[in-house]
């Protein structure tokens, strides 16, 4: 958020800075242009000074060349400097050096100025050659004089180069005025040169009179143009110079050279004319210097004004930008601070307060407890403050809804507990009735059916226990004495339907603390039920328990069923890792939810993973705190218990055995207990409490109880029933094994006692090479099959096809 706010504030600032920078840049450019213009105009002083000296050298050279026409050939050597010009050349050279020192730094400026300067520089570089050609010019002075004219012409072009731009008319006019006067001065200098040359020659050539007439016309036109554009101050300067006696004398002397009417042009005396004309030329130089000085002053003034305007504009822009930045930063910090507080409040509510409230709703009575929602941290009156208040309202609504849901969930859980308790009572009454029927039944077939009903009722009781687990209620069955893990495993096997297919290998020295026995029996029973239900009836389920270096125990349950897809495995392991709240999905996969809650209650970790040969491997990590030391052996107290006789060593976890079986002895005569018997196994399993009760036959602690329909084992409320040990051996007994005599005089039959013992170790099955079906395809086929069944039921058909036992889709596991 800070970055976004910064972007919101920076983008307009950058836009403003760009626009202001463009405006300031334009002003800086104008200031630079005016500064360069002022420098170029300043160079005009050196240019006009150099032109003045070159005009003197040219005009004097013209007179000397005219005088050379009367000198005999051979008296002057080529390259020899004329004596009259020796004093002129150094003055011009100094003016050239001064010009170059001033103008050369500006040669890197604008292109037009650079081009003009290069032309001037080339012309000045040829000046020594022109001077060396003077002695040899003789009768042809025009080429030499033309070279002087070209040098002065390019200097006048450079003098006119400064340009302030189209919007600076006053500066342009200032340049135009001194350029026009410099051209008038140049025409006046050429008139002087022609008259001086004619004076030295003593005559006029026809071309001289024509040239003088043209030059005088140019002089009058240039003066008229100058008077039109000149300032009052400049006109006053010219008027003052024109009134100078030397200027007037030069004009009068020049007028004598006009050929008008019958008067011919007079030839002037050379020395007098040169002296008086040079004085007039110096007066014109003063007027020219004044015009250039006016232009330089005006240019410097405009440049200074522009520079000050640029500095003030840049300073104003910078001040506005700094003020805007500080204001933006202050506003941004305020907004960012409010947003940070709002974010902190939102995260605190989402990650701390609301989860803690929900957790309290799960553990305390929501009706009697108080749940306060703190006020908003942001108290501003802007939109952020309104959002904070709205968030507090949402938080309050969420707590209210959670409170209502907690009350509803507590009511639903109470309803589940009530229904489960009632069902348990009915199941226990059913088991008591089955016990009575089993005691009085003598028909083997009917007794077998009663045993099946007995086992089904025990499994129904486990479903009631599952409802209690989902409702968050502790199990009613308790065991306070440490129990062998092998016995816990046998008790879990006794709770499932296909107990015959379970093979286990558990170390005898591993004992489980008594308070965790009931939950572990329930947890293992759910896993074993799933493993046996979703695998083929001709396969076995392997169960192995091994101790770990950290003091815990690893229990592995391996089946050869259809397995689960990777997605379903991930979802199932997520449920096992974090017990979810009971919802509609709990009814579809109740075993998975029950295992998750039982594991979380006892600190057990349960994971499912696929195997390389198909099927699933369920791993159960029992922490070290669930293990106990072996209890001290206690003598048998001789009290009768409702249990089945188990083959010695079976309870201790004989490798590869079926669930130990035995009879359900009744209360027979003591004398018949001595009757010869052989220990056998029976296929009908005992109940979990029978297995655990048999394990405690060595003498449980007085406080140890296992919840059953008879209450405490061996209590006064339960009838004393003699324990009938079964004979050992593999051959059927020669004499039928009985459990006493009924009141009617008939013997009490021990079910399955005539069957041979299956004590031989189970041989490992040789895996059959077969093509494993795709779990997703099988699940889809079963889903379509059950879809047809449901559609048939919806159509009120009479015959309802049912799926075979154990054929459920992957989503219906657990």
Q: Is 711 left (phi over 0), alpha (psi -120 to 50) or beta?
A: left
CB 767, CB 613: distance < 8 Å: yes
Q: Has residue 684 got a pLDDT over 50?
A: no
Dihedrals phi, psi of 556, to nearest 5 degrees: -120, 130
Report the alpha-carbon distance of residue 160 to residue 180 in Å, rounded: 9
Report the alpha-carbon distance of residue 522 to residue 461 in Å, rounded: 11
Q: Residue 136 has which token pair?
A: 């040899």
Report, as an integer, the average pLDDT of 557-568: 87
Report, as an integer, the average pLDDT of 755-766: 44
Residue 145 to residues 71, 155, 353: CA-CA distances in angstroms? Answer: 19, 15, 105
CB 69, CB 202: distance < 8 Å: no
> Which comes out higher in pLDDT, residue 26 or 241?
241
CB 155, CB 96: distance < 8 Å: no
pLDDT, residue 693, reads 67
pLDDT, residue 498, reads 84
pLDDT-derived band at 790, boundaries 50, 70, 90: low
CB count within 10 Å of CB 635 equals 7
CB 485, CB 638: distance < 8 Å: no
Report the alpha-carbon distance of residue 722 to residue 700 in Å, rounded: 18
- Looking at 130-134, 162-166, 719-723, which range is the least confident one? 719-723
Q: Is 229 helix (H, G, I), strand (E, B) or coil?
A: helix
Q: Is 605 helix (H, G, I), strand (E, B) or coil?
A: strand
Q: Has residue 777 got a pLDDT over 80?
A: no
pLDDT-derived band at 622, boundaries 50, 70, 90: very high
CB 730, CB 756: distance < 8 Å: yes
Between the ranges 181-195, 342-356, 656-670, 790-804, where is the mean pLDDT highest?
181-195
CA-based nearest residue to 725, from 741, 739, 745? 739
Contacts of 684 (CB under 8 A, 6+ apart): 448, 451, 452, 454, 455, 661, 751, 752
Question: Cα 464–467–473 angle (5° rounding)?
Answer: 105
Report, as an integer, the average pLDDT of 128-132: 87
Question: Cα 727–733–735 angle (5° rounding)?
Answer: 110
CA-based nearest residue to 125, from 93, 101, 102, 158? 93
Q: What is the pLDDT of residues 491-542, one digit of tens each?
A: 888 888 888 889 888 877 888 998 888 889 989 998 998 888 888 888 899 9
pLDDT, residue 71, reads 57
Q: Has residue 196 got a pLDDT over 80?
A: yes
Q: What is the pLDDT of residues 581-616, one digit of tens each?
A: 766 665 667 788 889 888 998 899 999 998 887 789
Residue length, the chain?
814
How are strands ordered across the β-sheet holding 511-512?
483-484, 511-512, 627-628
Q: Where are the beta strands (DSSP E) in 471-599?
A: 483-484, 502-506, 511-512, 541-547, 553-558
pLDDT, residue 187, reads 93
Q: What is the pLDDT of residues 626-680, one digit of tens each?
A: 988 877 665 544 433 333 333 223 333 333 333 333 333 333 333 333 343 323 3
pLDDT, residue 79, reads 61
pLDDT, residue 54, reads 93
Report the alpha-carbon distance of residue 576 to residue 274 in Å, rounded: 124
pLDDT-derived band at 720, boundaries 50, 70, 90: very low
Report the alpha-carbon distance of residue 295 to residue 291 in Å, rounded: 6
Report, as an integer, the average pLDDT of 58-83: 73
Contacts of 341 (CB under 8 A, 6+ apart): 377, 378, 388
Q: Is 739 helix (H, G, I), strand (E, B) or coil?
A: strand
> Which comes out higher in pLDDT, residue 325 or 652?
325
CB 62, CB 196: distance < 8 Å: yes
pLDDT, residue 433, reads 82
pLDDT, residue 716, reads 31
Report the alpha-carbon distance of residue 406 to residue 212 in Å, rounded: 123
pLDDT-derived band at 91, boundaries 50, 70, 90: very high
Report the alpha-carbon distance of residue 800 to residue 308 in Å, rounded: 103
Report the alpha-carbon distance of residue 417 to residue 467 in Å, rounded: 7
For the entire predicted model, the pTM comes to 0.47
Between the ranges 189-198, 450-459, 654-663, where is the mean pLDDT highest?
189-198
pLDDT-derived band at 761, boundaries 50, 70, 90: very low
Contacts of 606 (CB under 8 A, 6+ apart): 523, 527, 576, 595, 596, 599, 618, 619, 620, 621
Q: Has residue 88 got a pLDDT over 80?
A: yes
pLDDT-derived band at 702, boundaries 50, 70, 90: very low
CB 459, CB 430: distance < 8 Å: no
pLDDT-derived band at 367, boundaries 50, 70, 90: low
Q: Has residue 15 got a pLDDT over 70?
A: yes
Residue 791, H or E segment: helix 775-794
Return mean pLDDT, the chain.
75
Helices (H) and strands (E) in the chain, counts: 21, 10
pLDDT, residue 468, reads 78
pLDDT-derived band at 745, boundaries 50, 70, 90: low
Residue reference for tokens 């999905």 = 585
pLDDT, residue 695, reads 61
pLDDT, residue 749, reads 56
The residues with which 342 forms a beta bridge, in sequence order, are none
Share of the chain above pLDDT 90, in %: 15
Q: Residue 625 has which token pair?
A: 């705190």
pLDDT, residue 276, reads 93
CA-based nearest residue to 350, from 383, 394, 385, 387? 394
- Looking at 50-64, 148-162, 602-616, 789-803, which range is the least confident one? 789-803
Q: Has residue 726 got a pLDDT over 70?
A: no
pLDDT, residue 319, reads 85
pLDDT-derived band at 213, boundaries 50, 70, 90: confident
Dihedrals phi, psi of 738, to nearest 5 degrees: -125, 165
Report the alpha-carbon distance of residue 2 to residue 787 in Å, rounded: 56
pLDDT, residue 364, reads 64
Report, as an integer, the average pLDDT of 393-416: 76
> Which comes out higher in pLDDT, residue 95 or 322?
95
pLDDT, residue 388, reads 77
pLDDT, residue 667, reads 33
pLDDT, residue 612, reads 81
Strands 605-610 and 616-622: antiparallel
CB 682, CB 664: distance < 8 Å: no
End-to-end Cα spacing for the chain: 47
Between the ranges 542-546, 694-698, 747-751, where is the mean pLDDT highest?
542-546
pLDDT, residue 286, reads 92
Q: Is 202 helix (H, G, I), strand (E, B) or coil?
A: coil
pLDDT, residue 363, reads 66
């Amino acid at each position: 958020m800070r970055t976004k706010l910064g972007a919101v504030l920076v983008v307009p600032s950058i836009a403003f800075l760009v626009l202001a920078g463009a405006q300031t840049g334009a002003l800086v450019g104008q200031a630079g242009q005016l500064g360069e213009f002022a420098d170029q105009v300043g160079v005009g002083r050196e240019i006009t000074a150099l032109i003045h000296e070159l005009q003197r050298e040219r005009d004097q050279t013209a007179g000397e060349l005219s005088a050379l026409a009367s000198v005999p050939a051979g008296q002057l050597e080529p390259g020899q400097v004329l004596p009259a010009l020796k004093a002129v050349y150094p003055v011009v050279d100094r003016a050239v050096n001064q010009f170059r020192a001033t103008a050369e730094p500006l040669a890197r400026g604008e292109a037009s100025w650079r081009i003009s300067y290069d032309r001037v520089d080339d012309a000045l570089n040829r000046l020594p050659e022109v001077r060396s050609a003077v002695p040899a010019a003789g009768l042809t002075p025009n080429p030499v004089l033309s070279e002087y004219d070209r040098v002065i012409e390019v200097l006048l072009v450079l003098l006119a180069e400064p340009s302030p731009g189209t919007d600076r008319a006053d500066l342009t006019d200032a340049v135009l005025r001194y350029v026009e006067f410099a051209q008038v001065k140049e025409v006046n200098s050429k008139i002087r040169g022609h008259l001086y040359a004619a004076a030295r020659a003593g005559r006029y050539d026809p071309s001289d009179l024509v040239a003088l007439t043209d030059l005088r016309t140019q002089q009058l036109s240039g003066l008229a143009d100058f008077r039109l554009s000149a300032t009052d101050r400049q006109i006053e300067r010219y008027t003052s110079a024109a009134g100078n006696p030397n200027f007037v004398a030069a004009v009068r002397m020049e007028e004598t050279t006009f050929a008008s009417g019958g008067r011919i042009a007079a030839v002037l005396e050379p020395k007098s004319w040169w002296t008086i004309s040079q004085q007039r030329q110096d007066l014109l130089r003063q007027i020219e210097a004044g015009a250039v000085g006016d232009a330089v002053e005006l240019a410097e003034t405009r440049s200074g004004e522009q520079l000050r305007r640029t500095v003030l504009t840049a300073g104003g822009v910078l001040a506005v930008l700094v003020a805007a930045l500080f204001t933006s930063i202050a506003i941004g910090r305020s907004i960012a601070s409010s947003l940070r507080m709002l974010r902190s409040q939102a995260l605190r509510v989402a990650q701390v307060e609301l989860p803690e409230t929900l957790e309290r709703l799960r553990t305390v009575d929501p009706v009697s407890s108080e749940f306060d929602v703190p006020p908003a941290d942001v108290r501003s009156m802007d939109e952020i403050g309104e959002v904070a208040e709205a968030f507090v309202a949402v938080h309050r609504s969420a707590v209210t809804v959670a409170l209502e849901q907690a009350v509803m969930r507590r009511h639903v859980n109470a309803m589940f507990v009530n229904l489960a308790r009632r069902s348990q009572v009915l199941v226990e009454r059913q088991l008591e009735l089955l016990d009575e029927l089993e005691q009085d039944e003598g028909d083997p077939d009917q007794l077998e059916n009663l045993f099946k009903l007995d086992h089904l009722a025990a499994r129904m009781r486990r479903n009631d226990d599952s409802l209690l687990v989902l409702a968050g209620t502790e199990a009613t069955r308790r065991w306070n004495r440490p129990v062998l893990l092998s016995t816990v495993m046998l008790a879990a096997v006794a709770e499932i339907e296909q107990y015959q297919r379970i093979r286990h290998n558990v170390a005898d020295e591993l004992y489980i603390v008594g308070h965790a026995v009931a939950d572990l029996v329930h947890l293992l029973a759910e896993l074993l039920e799933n493993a046996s239900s979703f695998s083929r009836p001709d396969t076995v389920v392997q169960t192995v328990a091994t101790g770990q270096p950290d003091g815990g125990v690893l229990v592995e349950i391996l089946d050869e069923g259809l397995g689960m897809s990777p997605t379903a495995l991930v979802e199932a392991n997520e449920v096992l890792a974090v017990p979810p709240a009971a919802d509609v999905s709990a009814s579809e996969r109740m075993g998975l939810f029950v295992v998750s809650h039982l594991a979380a209650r006892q600190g057990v970790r349960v994971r499912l993973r696929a195997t390389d040969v198909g099927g699933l491997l369920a791993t159960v990590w029992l922490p070290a705190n669930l293990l106990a030391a072996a209890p001290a052996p206690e003598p048998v107290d001789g009290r009768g218990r409702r249990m089945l006789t188990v083959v010695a060593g079976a309870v201790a976890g004989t490798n590869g055995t079926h669930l130990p079986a035995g009879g359900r002895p009744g209360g027979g005569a003591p004398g018949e207990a001595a009757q010869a018997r052989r220990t056998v196994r029976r296929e009908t399993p005992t109940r979990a409490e029978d297995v655990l009760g048999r394990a405690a036959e060595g003498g449980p602690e007085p406080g140890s109880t296992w919840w059953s329909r008879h209450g405490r084992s061996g209590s006064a409320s339960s009838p004393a029933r003699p324990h009938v040990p079964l004979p050992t051996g593999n051959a059927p007994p020669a004499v039928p094994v009985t459990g006493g005599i009924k009141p009617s005089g008939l013997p009490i039959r021990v079910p399955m006692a005539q069957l041979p013992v299956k004590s031989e170790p189970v041989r490992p099955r040789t895996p059959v090479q077969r093509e494993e079906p795709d779990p997703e395809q099988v699940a889809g086929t079963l889903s379509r099959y059950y879809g047809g069944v449901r559609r048939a039921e919806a159509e009120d058909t009479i015959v309802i096809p049912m799926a075979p036992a154990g054929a459920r889709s992957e989503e219906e596991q657990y």
